[in-house]
Amino acid sequence: MSENELAKLAFGCGLKVHKTLGPGLMENAYLECLAYELNKQELKVEKQKALPLIYDSVKLEVGYRVDLIIEQQLIIELKVVEELNDIHLAQLLTYLRLSKCKLGLLMNFNTLLFRDGVKRVIL
């Protein structure tokens, strides 16, 4: 499955979670429900995956954790914030660089309309 097809499927799963739960819950609730929906689609889903930082040829464990990696191709970073801002985009771009993935989705579940809280990020 291509990255674009995965992103479309992930958006649909996120929309289902948002319609079911609505805004106002903690991020972890959305993460678990989204992972469940993606697993139902028989996708390989990695939750809270640690990403090491390579600095000066040394692998450093600095605590970076990606919310979801789908099929080792797509990163999904979840937020429950009033508004997405540049630091959230920078965080996802960093995760994309460290993981070698090319496509990421930033999903903010604290919106009335789910599509208003989703940003597609390409490295």
Q: What is the arithmetic mean of pLDDT over 11-28?
A: 98
Domain coordinates in residue numbering, the chain: 3-122
**Contact indicator for 93, 86 with CB cutoff of 8 Å:** no
Give Cα separations from 15 to 47, 73, 100 (angstroms).
19, 20, 26
CA neighbor of 109 nearest in space, from 78, 67, 65, 76: 78
Distance in angstroms (rounded) separating the CA atoms of residues 114 and 40: 21
pLDDT tens across 29-80, in order?
999 999 999 999 999 999 999 988 888 888 887 778 999 999 999 999 999 9
DSSP 63: E
pLDDT, residue 6, reads 98
**What does pLDDT average to over the chain?**
96
Average pLDDT over residues 95-110: 96
Q: If you average pLDDT over residues 8-18, what whole number do you get?
A: 99
Residues 35 and 43: their CA atoms lie apart, in Å, by 9
Q: Specify the pTM.
A: 0.93
Q: What is the pLDDT of residue 54?
A: 83
Q: What is the pLDDT of residue 80?
A: 98
Distance CA 114, CA 119 (A): 11
Which pLDDT score is estimated for 13? 99
% of residues, the chain, pLDDT over 90: 85
Residue pair 52/80 in contact by the 8 Å Cβ criterion: no
